Chain A
Amino acid sequence: MEWVGSPKINQLWWDSSLWGRELKLNTCERSHLYCARVKISLTAVYSGTVRTYQDNMQFMLLFSRQGKLRLQKWYVALSDTQKKKISREVIQMVLARKPKMCSFLEWRDLKIVYKRYASLYFCCAVEDQENELITLEIIHRYVELLDKYFGSVCELDIIFNFEKAYYILDEFILGGEAQETSKKIVLKAIEQADMLQEEAEAPRSVLEEIGLT
């Protein structure tokens, strides 16, 4: 796990300037190492190393009813392959749930808390011991923030303004923990940032916009 997550070890292994000559791995060694790495990362996921981070929230996924990922936020260090695998698994599981079922699912060592808003599923993975109901309300508060900012938010808003969705999330949750739970304060911070943006940006011609100049 650490090997994947932290480049530090790679560095010790592969480029310590003390040791002079830049190391050149031949392809065979490279693929060998690659295999070793993939194997490690997978065993890490399966042996529940995810748990050792003890983050409140491990990740948050927004996806459509068709299973398309609209937003992903990871509060633990994982490789892209792992992230893809986990997302696929979680999305599949949540989409298979029927309405009226409870919003909590046990998955590996974690708990998945999810809620559907119109066409979008909001889904958080939290520690097994975590408070499920308050996580459910974290999701709701985030939806409220999006709603207030975009004005009756819909899936399209999040697709076209994904960067805004990220900014709002960062203001609200940091490192997997709620940073600021007051709706007013979060929105004020975002709006201030937007102001800074508008000041900075001079109006542009349409032609320039579509890259014809």
Chain B
Amino acid sequence: MPAVSKGDGMRGLAVFISDIRNCKSKEAEIKRINKELANIRSKFKGDKALDGYSKKKYVCKLLFIFLLGHDIDFGHMEAVNLLSSNKYTEKQIGYLFISVLVNSNSDLIRLINNAIKNDLSSRNPTYMNLALHCIANVGSREMAEAFASEVPRILVAGDTMDSVKQSAALCLLRLNRTCPDLVPMGEWTSRVVHLLNDQHLGVVTAATSLISTLAQKNPDDFKTSVSLAVARLSRIVTSASTDLQDYTYYFVAAPWLSVKLLRLLQCYPPPEDGAIRGRLTECLETILNKAQEPPKSKKVQHSNAKNAVLFEAISLIIHHDSEPTLLVRACNQLGQFLQHRETNLRYLALESMCTLASSEFSHEAVKTHIETVINSLKTERDVSVRQRAVDLLYAMCDRSNAKQIVTEMLSYLETADYSIREEIVLKVAILAEKYAVDYTWYVDTILNLIRIAGDYVSEEVWYRVIQIVINRDDVQGYAAKTVFEALQAPACHENLVKVGGYILGEFGNLIAGDPRSSPLVQFHLLHSKFHLCSVPTRALLLSAYVKFINLFPEVKGTIQEVLRSDSQLRNADVELQQRAVEYLRLSCIATTDILATVLEEMPPFPERESSILAKLKKKKGSGTVSDIEDSRKERNVNANANVNGSSDHTITNTSAKPPPSFACDLLATAPPPTNRPRPIPSSSMLHTPLTPLSPKAYTPQPVTPTVPFYQVTSSPSSDLLGLGNSSAVNSASPPTSSHAASLLVDVFSESLPVAALGSASAHVIEENFSRFVCKNNGVLFESQLLQIGLKSEFRQNLGRMYIFYGNKTSTQFLNFSSSVVCPEPLSSQLNIHMKAADPVLDGGAQLQQILNIECISDFVEAPVLNIQFRYGGSTQNISVRLPVTLNKFFQPTEMTSQDFFQRWKQLSAPQQEVQKIFKAKHSMDTEITKAKIIGFGTALLDGVDPNPSNFVGAGVIHTKTIQVGCLLRLEPNTQAQMYRLTLRTSRESVTQRLSNLLSDQF
């Protein structure tokens, strides 16, 4: 049958395709396509109604253009027209277009759904099939909603044709995968199970797929399928190859169905019923036996189909993991495949054996193939097969063969493909650690790894070797000796220098007795590598040097000289410079005792899962593990971000930052957050002298008005700091800052007044302002001198605010005064009365001041609180924005859904609504959001919005002159981490202001 006679002979289409094929260049092709698109567009738009044939032809052309990779943005309507046509050929093209170019245009989907509905009820099997295919191909939620109950009916109806049943089964499968919530389980489920008994093997094939999918989620509902599946399978495997007629594929009886049945059985444990179980075992044995029979055909299709069933049977055997004889037979069968001439079979055998290796019954049997696997590692030409061999060696490794396998992997590593080197390195590192009988072998192996594939040795690997050496004192001397020897090589990898530096710094004394590795020799050896290394390594080496000063007082002079050299003390890199300065200073001023304490040997690391293992799991992308890894990583990133945070954070954080010594290098990435922190007995000692204040802290820059806030960034708990109880404020000194404050107070007390003395309103502090939009109490301002707390209450258009001033120092504040300023036009919108405050505020004491507020009309700006006092001989000026915001004058309003929407519609003028779409700044927790909306002042209305995840609120703003009703709706989109906020009030300025206030809160 030549191609031209086929199909419906749309000549226009054929001509167009030929044209495209004849285009000499990409440009010519695009030109031709654009011409055609213009033509089609004009035809579709034209006055003359197109007949079905032309429509079909043009839609087909559009489809072709789309398949060439161009975007198509029209023609959908015509396609929908076609699929609603009565002519089969037009219908077919219409469906095809829709299936390939699904468009989420909801109007269109409705039309399509209508057409599908008609076709499904047409009772014409050809039409029904087209409709079902379309649902299965598009599989969108709208379609699931429309047809999820209809399709099961068609599937189990007594009079449905076989071919329609098949389509319906797979259509349902697709819908269940897209929207499992919409597919109702019901009485049809048991009838679906009985389709396994159907006469028609095509129906059974389709039904088996469906049942497998459904059974994964509801195993109990489909339990009865097990016995039916076993019966069916048994009939197939025992049938003569001609029994199943066209379902026999290259002399293999119904291979697809067999595979699917075996797959379905893998949803369940071995059958409990002895008879069924026996029958299944017989089936599996028959399949294994057949693999030994001579092939009935030389065609690869025959062997592929036969082996497909065999591999699936082996999967089931492994899944059951209960029949030792079957497991061993499976293993032997796979062993034969390991040397098969078909690459595909070798690949699959290696892969399946990997899972067999984990079964206790077959582990030993798998191990017998070690030589073959090692051989394929060496001889396979396809990297993906070699990769499988590496995997299998890893899986079959245990204490008995670890040395052999690790050696083989190491030697393979020298020539391995770059793409899999890192993974091999990880695997070797894990095996070496896991099966190490003596740790000298482990140390040797890792050093070998670094030597052979240093670039692929990730941090986790060399961190790990150091953790192990530190934790095991039996290996420390050997490790020191080995790294010392390894470092002798003229060219060694930087990772080796890192390990060497660390280990010699800790345990160099263990080999110092030998004159060949005397302290001075060790030092010179390390230092000879120094200039070739990157900054982090050099930093590590500097730490090693200072440890040497402690270990070997005799080399102190030499090392001090090195530290003192310009290349260190004036190094362009801040970290190196700082270490050199600090270490040098430390070595000069500290007594031997202090040195010994500060530079004490590292304490053992807590035992935990190897970070390498975690990394490998991640590399392999195993679901949950990688999630944990990710979050862990993220936390570390966060931690780092804090540590290296911007200048105004640095001061607070330095006190929490671990010293830049060994501990920091190793621990920064290693411990999962759940583990207890590593005990550092000498920590307090370590911290103080070694903590480098970031050089930024020394510069005058921080003395900008932002500086006093470094404490404010501390934990949220400080918000609530003792407002209800004044004594708490008196004694409270923020826990995190005490350290830093004492260190920095000098800097501030000198320079802060200079900055603040300028003009009184030079800078209004509003850092904490937005925190008070949704709440009334908390700490408004805090510096190392003063803390200002607020407590306030509002009723109707009136409010009262209690301001608490806490003196955090031990000296008196003199001439204390405060005033509230309302710039125009605020002064006419708000009335504020304040009683004068006591002029003296004693050290450690607290002062309270009361503010009475009356709201005259709606307002935008907020009043400013100016505070002035004398401390330590200079005048301090502080200006803080007071959180008196429009929403404080809300009265919540409860209303029914009906009322709400009535009012909502009344406020439909464009200027009455403000809508904002913004990114979430905080976690999108429902409870927190609810609390914020209530805190904002409106009532939170449940059951108004049809979508339960949205929030709806209503309230009335009370001012002396007017009252303004306000409706709001907040729609979170957690996937996008975004919100949409819609506000409607009768006054434009109010809407705008409220929207700005509220959108800032999420």
Contact partner of A104 (CB less than 8 A), chosen from B109, B171, B344, B946, is B344
List, in ascending order, chain B residues with CB within 8 A of A100's CB.
343, 381-382
* Docked-complex contact A18 and B174, CB < 8 angstroms: no
- Bound-state CA distance A179–B106 (Å) is 30
Question: With the chains together, A104 CA to B576 CA distance in Å?
Answer: 50
Given known A-B contacts A13-B980, A164-B6, A206-B11, A181 and B205 have beta carbons under 8 A apart: yes
B939 within 8 A of partner (CB):
no
Determine whether the beta carbon of B255 is less than 8 Å from that of A136.
Answer: no
- Return the contact of A105 from the options B11, B213, B245, B384 (Cβ within 8 A): B384
Decide: A136 and B908 in contact? CB cutoff 8 A: no
Known contacts A3-B975, A72-B67: A179-B384 contact under CB 8 Å = no
Tell me which residues across on chain A come within 8 A of B969, comparing CB atoms: 19
**Are B141 and A200 touching (Cβ within 8 A)?**
no
Bound CA span A20–B63, Å: 37
By the criterion CB–CB under 8 Å, are A133 and B71 in contact?
A: no
Q: Does residue B826 face the partner (Cβ distance < 8 Å to A)?
A: no
Which of B89-97, B407-415, B477-485, B707-715 forms part of the interface with chain A? B89-97
Per-position 1/0 for B85-113, Cβ under 8 A of A:
00111001100100110101110010000
Interface residues of A in 156-213 (CB under 8 A from B): 156-157, 159-164, 166-167, 170, 174-185, 189, 192-194, 196-198, 200-201, 204, 206, 209-211
Contact B344–A179 (Cβ < 8 Å):
no
Q: Contact: A163 with B89, CB < 8 Å?
A: no
B246 an interface residue at 8 Å Cβ cutoff? yes
Binding stretch for chain A, among B12-20, B797-805, B876-884: B12-20
Let me know if B259 and A197 touch, CB within 8 A. no
Q: Which residues of A contact B12 (CB under 8 A)?
A: 209-211
Q: Are A12 and B139 in contact (CB under 8 A)?
A: no
A104 contact set on B, CB distance < 8 A: 344, 347-348, 384
Distance between Cα atoms of A204 and B57 in the complex (Å): 13
- Given contacts A3-B976, A136-B304, is CB(A80)–CB(B71) below 8 Å? yes
Is A159 a contact partner of B21 (Cβ separation < 8 A)? yes
For the complex formed, measure the closest distance between the CB of A156 and the CB atoms of chain B, giving whole angstroms.
7
What residues on A are CB-neighbors of B254 within 8 Å? 181
Please tell me if the beta carbons of B136 and A174 are within 8 angstroms of each other in the complex: yes
**How far does the Cβ of B449 sit from chain A's closest Cβ, in whole Å?**
24
Interface window among B115-123, B305-313, B546-554, B812-820: B305-313
- Tell me whether A163 and B21 are in contact (CB under 8 A): no
In the complex, what distance in Å separates the CA atom of A132 from the CA atom of B308?
Answer: 7
What A residues does B308 contact at CB under 8 A?
131, 133-134, 136-137
In the bound complex, residues from chain A placing their C-beta under 8 Å from that of B102 are 77
Which one, B216, B257, B904, contacts A19 given CB within 8 A? Answer: B904
For A32, list chain B residues within 8 Å (CB): 917
Which listed residue (B1, B54, B978) contacts A151, Cβ 8 A? B1
A95 at the interface (CB under 8 A from B): no
Closest chain A CB from B186 CB (angstroms): 21
Cβ contacts under 8 Å, A150 to chain B = 1, 3, 6
Closest Cβ of chain A: how far from B330's Cβ, in Å?
Answer: 15
> Which of B162-170, B229-237, B457-465 faces chain A?
B162-170
Are B344 and A132 in contact (CB-based, < 8 A)? yes
Specify which chain B residues have a CB less than 8 angstroms from the CB of A164 in the assembled complex.
6-7
Distance in angstroms from B80 CB to nearest chain A CB is: 16
The DSSP consensus for interface residues of chain A is helix
- Tell me if A189 and B256 are in contact (CB < 8 A): no
Cβ distance A82 to chain B, nearest Cβ, rounded Å = 13
Whether B343 pairs with A141 at a CB distance below 8 angstroms is no
Q: Does B142 touch A at the CB level, under 8 Å?
A: yes
Is A117's beta carbon under 8 Å from chain B? no
User: Does B304 contact A133, Cβ atoms closer than 8 Å?
Assistant: yes
Contact A11 B312 (CB under 8 A): no
Query: B385–A102 contact, CB under 8 A?
Result: yes
Interface residues on B, range: 35 or more
In the bound complex, CA of A2 to CA of B307 (Å): 38
Asked if A142 lies at the interface with its beta carbon under 8 angstroms from chain B, I say no
Number of A-B contacts (CB under 8 A): 257
Residues of B with C-beta under 8 A to A204? 53
B120 vs chain A, min Cβ distance (A): 15
Residues of B contacting A71 with CB < 8 Å?
67
Query: A6 an interface residue at 8 Å Cβ cutoff?
Result: yes
In the complex, what residues of B have CB within 8 A of residue A200's CB? 87-89
User: Is B544 an interface residue, CB under 8 A from the partner?
Assistant: no
Q: Is the CB of B202 within 8 A of A196?
A: no
How far, in angstroms, from A38 to B445 measured CA to CA in the complex?
46
Nearest CB in chain B: distance from A151 CB, A:
4
Residues 250-270 of B, flagged 1 when their CB comes within 8 A of A and 0 if not, give 000011110110010000000
Question: When the two chains form their complex, are residues A160 and B14 in contact, meaning their CB atoms are under 8 A apart?
Answer: yes
Q: Is the CB of A10 within 8 A of B304?
A: no
A133-B304, A180-B163 known; A197+B8 contact, CB < 8 A: yes
Known interface pairs A174-B170, A181-B256; A133-B344 also in contact (CB < 8 Å): yes
Q: A137-B305, A161-B3 are in contact. Are A9 and B973 (CB under 8 A)?
A: yes
CA distance A104 to B385 in the complex (A): 9
Chain B residues, CB < 8 A from A109: 621
Complex Cα distance, B11 from A192, in Å, reads: 22
Q: In whole angstroms, how far apart are the Cα atoms of A105 and B383 in the complex? A: 10
* Bound Cα distance from A11 to B140, whole angstroms: 13
Do A161 and B202 have beta carbons less than 8 Å apart?
no
A166–B14 Cα distance when bound, in Å, is: 17
Chain A residue at minimal CB-CB distance from B136: A175
A54 in complex: contacting residue of B21, B64, B106, B177, CB < 8 Å: B177
Per the bound structure, the CA–CA distance linking A16 and B969 in Å amounts to 13
A185 vs B163: C-alpha distance when bound (angstroms): 9
Chain B residue nearest to A157 in the complex (CB): B3
B93 touches A174 (CB 8 A): no
Shortest Cβ distance from A144 into chain B, in angstroms? 9
CA distance A182 to B263 in the complex (A): 20
Within 8 A of B (CB), among A72-87: 72, 75, 77, 80, 84
Establish whether residues B7 and A179, one from each chain, have CB atoms under 8 Å apart when the complex forms.
Answer: no
Q: Determine if B780 is an interface residue (Cβ-Cβ < 8 Å).
A: no
| A149 to B6 CA separation, bound complex (whole angstroms) | 9
CB-defined interface of A3-35 with B at 8 Å, one 1/0 digit per residue?
Answer: 101111111110110111101000001001100
Contacts of A102 in B (CB 8 A): 343-344, 346-347, 382, 384-385
Question: Is B913 interfacial (CB-CB < 8 Å)?
Answer: yes
B69 at the interface (CB under 8 A from A): yes
A88 to B106, CA, bound (A): 30
Using A151-B1, A179-B206, A200-B87 as known contacts, say yes or no to A167 and B140 having CB atoms under 8 A apart.
Answer: no
Q: Are B901 and A101 in contact (CB under 8 A)?
A: no
Which of these, B71, B205, B311, contacts A131 with CB under 8 Å? B311
B63 A163 Cβ-Cβ under 8 A: yes
Contact A181 B178 (CB under 8 A): no
Indicate whether A118 reaches chain B with its CB closer than 8 angstroms: no
B947 at the interface (CB under 8 A from A): yes
Which residues 370-396 of B sit at the A interface, judged by CB distance below 8 A?
Answer: 381-382, 384-385, 387
| B309 cross-chain contacts in A, Cβ below 8 A | 134
- Could you say which residues of chain B place their CB within 8 Å of the CB of A162? 63-64, 67
Looking at the assembled complex, report how far the CB atom of A174 sits from the nearest CB atom of chain B, in whole angstroms. Answer: 4
Nearest-CB distance from B206 to chain A (Å)? 5
16 A-B pairs, CB-CB below 8 angstroms? A8-B142, A9-B973, A21-B910, A33-B917, A55-B174, A104-B348, A109-B621, A160-B14, A163-B93, A177-B173, A181-B249, A182-B247, A189-B129, A206-B11, A209-B10, A209-B11
**16 additional A-B residue pairs with CB within 8 Å, beyond A69-B67, A197-B7, A200-B89:** A10-B104, A40-B975, A54-B216, A84-B69, A101-B382, A105-B384, A131-B315, A134-B255, A134-B259, A174-B167, A174-B170, A175-B170, A177-B209, A181-B205, A181-B249, A193-B88
Spell out A's residues near B (CB within 8 Å). 1-3, 5-13, 15-16, 18-21, 23, 29, 32-33, 36-37, 40, 48, 53-56, 69, 71-72, 75, 77, 80, 84, 100-106, 109, 131-134, 136-138, 140-141, 149-151, 156-157, 159-164, 166-167, 170, 174-185, 189, 192-194, 196-198, 200-201, 204, 206, 209-211
Q: Which 5 pairs between the two chains have the least Cβ-Cβ distance? A: A7-B104, A175-B174, A133-B308, A209-B11, A134-B308
